[in-house]
Structure 1
Amino acid sequence: MPRHLKEPHLIKRKPRYDPITGRLTHHPTWIVKDGPKQVVTGCSIDNLEGARRFLHEYNIKKYASIPLKPGLEDHQVIIGDLIRYYLEANAGWIAEKSVPRKREFVNQIDRINQFWGGKTVDQIDTLTSKEFQAGRNPNSVLKELEILRAIVFFGSDEGKVKLSRKPKFAMPRKPDSRLHYFSEEEVWALIKGAMGRFHTFKGMDTHRVALHIAIFIIIAATTGTRSERIWTASFECEPGRPWIDLESGIFYRKPGAKFVPLNKLANPCLIPTRVLRLLRRIYREAKRKGVEGAQYPIRWQGRPADPRRGFYTLKHLVLGQERAKQVNRHTLKHTCATYLLAQGLTVDEVADYLSTTPQVIRRVYGHLIPGQHSAASQAFDRPKVGIRRRDRPGSSYWKEL
C-alpha cells in the first residue's frame, strides 16, 4: 500500500490561561507538528517567516541522515526524499547561482516541498497537479512544475525510483511572449525620471536616490545586455563578475569561463562611444570622491544592487499603470534590438552585438526587420524590360488602383 505520510508542518498553538486566575500564561505561537510529536519553534504568531525558517532547518536535520534507497517503486518513494537527493546531488550548481537567483530557487523548492513533499511519486497526476495550480499565477506554477519534473526524472535516471507510468504534471499553457519595446521618448522619460528622484531632508533635496537605475537603463538600452549581467558588473576586473573595461571600451559580459546556455550567450560587445564617455566620467568622479563601491556601476550603499524593485516603481511613476503592465527590464533588450534593426543593420550584425543567434533574431524580431522583403516589394514597382506598360499582364488592375 502507498504510504501517505504528512510532512512536518506548522500549526498555531492557541494562547493558554491560568484556570484559576484567568491570567495569560502562554502567548499564541507557532509549533511544528511531526506526526504525534510537537516541536516548539520559539516564534510568536506574528513571526511566520521565522517559523518557516525553523521548519526548514527542522526538515534538514530530520532527513539529512536518512539515505534514499535505490530501486524503490514509485508508490514507496516520498517526493520530499527525491527533493533532498536532487539538492544534494546538484549542490555545486546551486551554489554558483547569484544571490537573487538562489533565493528565487530556494523559494520555489520550498513551495514545491510544502505541497508535494509528503506525497509519493505515484500521486503525481492531473487532478493533484490541478489542485497545486488552483488560484495561483500560471507562470509561477509552470516554473515550479518544471522543477518538480526535473527532480522526478533525475531520481529515475539515478535509479532512486522506478516509474510504473509516466507522471502527469498537467503543465499550464506557456504564456505568449510579450514583445514590447520602449519608444525613444519613453527611454528618455525613464532616465529623466530616475535622475529626478532625490532624498529629501526637512524639505531640501540632499542626493539622488535612483542614479543607479538611470545608469542601468542607459547600459541596457544601448548594449542589449541582460539585467543580471549589468548590475553584477564591475569597472575593475574581478573574479566571478562581468567586466566593463573602460580602457578598451569593451563590455565582457561573461565572467571568466562560466558556462552559459546556448540561448543565453554573453559574448563581449563594444560599448558605444557616448556611453563609454559617460561611464568613464561616473567612475572617475566616484573614485575622486572616495565613494564606497565606486567600481560598481549599479551600486547601492557600496554594493552591487539589483534594480528590479526600483525599476518597477519607476516605470509605474513615469509610464502609468497600463503601460507599466506591458513592460519590464527585459524590454530594454527588445528596445536595443528594435532600434538596431530600424537603423538598417543586418540580422547577423544585430545577433553578434546582442550575443544571440541570427535564428533567434529572425524568429523574435522578424516582423520588425525593415527591408527584409524590400526586393519583393520593389519588384512590383520596376518596369518589366521588353514589355510596354499597356501590354503588361494585369495592367487594367493597376489602373483601377
Structure 2
Amino acid sequence: MIERTSGQPIQRHRKTDDVPLADVLSHYITEQIDIEAADDKSCRKPLSRPQEVLTYILHLIDWWGDKTVGDITRANCRTYTGTCKTPTAARNRLEYLRRALNIALEDRIIDRVVVVTLPPKPKRRTDFFERDDVAKMIRACRAQRLYTHNEKKSENTGHAGTQVRTTSYPRRHLIPYILLATYTGTRSSRMFTASFIKKEGRPWIDLERGVYHRTAPGEEVAKNKQAPSFKIPKRLLQYMRRWYKAGRRYPIEFNGEPIENSRALSRLIKELFPDRKLVPHSFRHTAATWMMRESELAINDIAGFLGMSMEMLDRVYGHHRTHHQQGIADAISTGGIGKIKKDKGDTDNFSYGKKQPEETGRNKSEQAKPSQIKMSVRSQKIRKAA
C-alpha cells in the first residue's frame, strides 16, 4: 500500500490543486480502514466492510494515483468510468473518492470542496421470486450431481457421452440460505456469519428463545444497514433446531465450516432463470413483497422485522399493498357506484322524477334590486309624506 502512494508525509498548507490524490486516498485509509487507527477512540467510526472498500481504493489509486486534486474534472471522471466494467462499479468507487476528499477537507489537507462527477444512479432492482420459483430452487438443490462419461475414457464401455446421477449433492448446503433469506429477508452477510452458538464477532441465533440477533454483541451498525433482532417464525425455527441436533453449528456451512459467500447460488439462479434479472439479494425483495401483500401485517411491523425504514418500504414496495382499495373494487363490481344512496331514516321518498330541476327565478344575478323596482303612486305619496 505504501508503494502505491506518494511515499512522502502528508503536507498541509498547500494549494488544493497541487495536493496528490495518492495522499488524499492514503489519508482516507489511515482514518477509516487502518486497524491501529480504528482502535483509537478519537478515530472516526470504522467501516463495516473494510476489505471491500480497500479494494475500491486500490482501484482508484491505480488510475488516479499519479494525478493531483486539480485533475478531478468532469472529463477525467467520465474517462475513469469507461475503464470500469459497469457505470455502477465506477459510481461505487468514485463515491469513495468523494468521501476521501471530504475527510481531507475536514482535516485541512485541502482548503475547498472538490466536485466529483458521478455516473447516473442505476435503477433500483426490485425483481422477486414467487413461491413456485423458490420451490424450483429447493428441488434443484436436492438433486444429485450429474456425471457425463468422457468420450475417450469410456469409448470401450458404451457409456461415452451418457449422464448418470452420482451420490453427491453439491448444492444441498444452499437450502438453508434459501429458506432463511425467503422467510426473513436477512442480508447475506448476516446469514453467512451467523452461528447457533454465541460467539464474539458473529450474529447469534438463540434457538431456545427463538430469536435471531442479526448483529454481533457490541457491534456498531451503519444507519443504512440496520440489522435488528427478530422473532424467528415457528416453521423456520423447527428447521433450525433440526439442523443443530444434526450437528450443525452454523446455519449455512459447507463440509462443517461456515462460508463467506456462495458463487454456487448465483450460478443456480442464472441456470434456472436465465431471462430474469435475479440475484441473491432478490430474496430480500421477495420477503418484503410477500409481507406487503398480507393485509393483516402493519407496515411499521414489516419495516422493523426487515430492518428497513418505513419510507423506503412504502416507496419501493408500496405498490404491492392494494388491499385498502378493496372497497372501491367492490363498489365498482356490484354496479352501485354512481347511484344515489339514501339514508335509512329518509322516508319521504323524494325524487325529481323524469323532469329535470329548473331555476326558481329567485335571487338571479340579472334580477333588479329592491331599490331599482318602480313604486306605485300610493307608495310614492306615503314616502313623500314621511
* TM-score above 0.5: yes
TM-score by length of 2: 0.75
**C-alpha contact 1:250 1:268 (8 A) present in aligned 2:** yes
Q: Helix, strand or coil: the match of 2:317?
A: helix
1:15-36 Cα distance to aligned partner (Å, 9 max, x none) = xxxxxxxxxxxxxxxxxxxxxx
Residue 369 (structure 1) shift: 0.6
> Counterparts of 2:244 and 2:121 in 1: how far apart (Å)?
42
Q: Helix, strand or coil: the match of 2:128?
A: coil
Pick closer, same or farther for the CA change 1:228–1:175 going to 2, 3 Å: same
> Counterparts of 1:347 and 1:131 in 2: how far apart (Å)?
44
Pick closer, same or farther for the CA change 1:169–1:384 going to 2, 3 Å: same
> Counterparts of 1:223 and 1:248 in 2: how far apart (Å)?
17
Q: Aligned residue for 2:265?
A: 311
Q: What residue identity is the alignment partner of 1:385?
A: K
Q: Helix, strand or coil: the match of 2:17?
A: coil
Structure 2 matches for 1:217-232, cutoff 5 A? 217-232=178-193
1:235 matched to 2:192? The reply is: no
Q: What residue identity is the alignment partner of 1:297?
A: P
Q: Aligned residue for 2:15?
A: 73
Residue 314 (structure 1) shift: 0.4
1:117 matched to 2:117? The reply is: no
> Counterparts of 2:140 and 2:266 in 1: how far apart (Å)?
12
Q: Aligned residue for 1:363?
A: 315
Pick closer, same or farther for the CA change 1:390–1:222 going to 2, 3 Å: farther
Identity across matched positions, percent: 26
> Counterparts of 1:307 and 1:391 in 2: how far apart (Å)?
74
> Counterparts of 1:361 and 1:302 in 2: how far apart (Å)?
37
**C-alpha contact 1:181 1:332 (8 A) present in aligned 2:** yes
Task: List runs of 5+ in structure 1 lacking aligned partners.
Answer: 1-55, 288-293, 393-401
> Counterparts of 1:275 and 1:126 in 2: how far apart (Å)?
51
**C-alpha contact 1:125 1:167 (8 A) present in aligned 2:** no
TM-score by length of 1: 0.73
Pick closer, same or farther for the CA change 1:247–1:364 going to 2, 3 Å: same
> Counterparts of 1:280 and 1:389 in 2: how far apart (Å)?
70
Q: Aligned residue for 1:343?
A: 294
Q: Aligned residue for 1:145?
A: 94
Q: Helix, strand or coil: the match of 2:77?
A: helix
Q: Rg: which structure is higher?
A: 2
1:384 matched to 2:345? The reply is: no
> Counterparts of 1:216 and 1:242 in 2: how far apart (Å)?
15
Residue 264 (structure 1) shift: 2.3
Q: Aligned residue for 1:187?
A: 134
1:233-281 Cα distance to aligned partner (Å, 9 max, x none) = 0011111111111111111111113222333221111111121111111
Structure 2 matches for 1:290-305, cutoff 5 A? 294-305=248-259
Q: Helix, strand or coil: the match of 2:178?
A: helix
**C-alpha contact 1:224 1:336 (8 A) present in aligned 2:** yes
**C-alpha contact 1:181 1:335 (8 A) present in aligned 2:** yes
Structure 2 matches for 1:35-74, cutoff 5 A? 56=1, 58-59=3-4, 63=7, 66-74=8-16
> Counterparts of 1:86 and 1:121 in 2: how far apart (Å)?
14
Q: Helix, strand or coil: the match of 2:167?
A: strand
**C-alpha contact 2:230 2:305 (8 A) present in aligned 1:** yes
1:284-331 Cα distance to aligned partner (Å, 9 max, x none) = 11x2xxxxxx31111124332134411111012222x212xx111111
Q: Aligned residue for 1:8?
A: none
Q: What residue identity is the alignment partner of 1:148?
A: L
Q: Aligned residue for 2:236?
A: 275
Aligned length in residues: 320
Q: Aligned residue for 1:330?
A: 281
Q: Helix, strand or coil: the match of 1:75?
A: helix
> Counterparts of 1:390 and 1:109 in 2: how far apart (Å)?
79
Q: Aligned residue for 1:397?
A: none
2:105 to 144, 152, 156: 156
Residue 145 (structure 1) shift: 0.6
2:305 to 353, 356, 360: 353
> Counterparts of 1:183 and 1:391 in 2: how far apart (Å)?
54
**C-alpha contact 2:4 2:61 (8 A) present in aligned 1:** no
**C-alpha contact 1:94 1:102 (8 A) present in aligned 2:** no
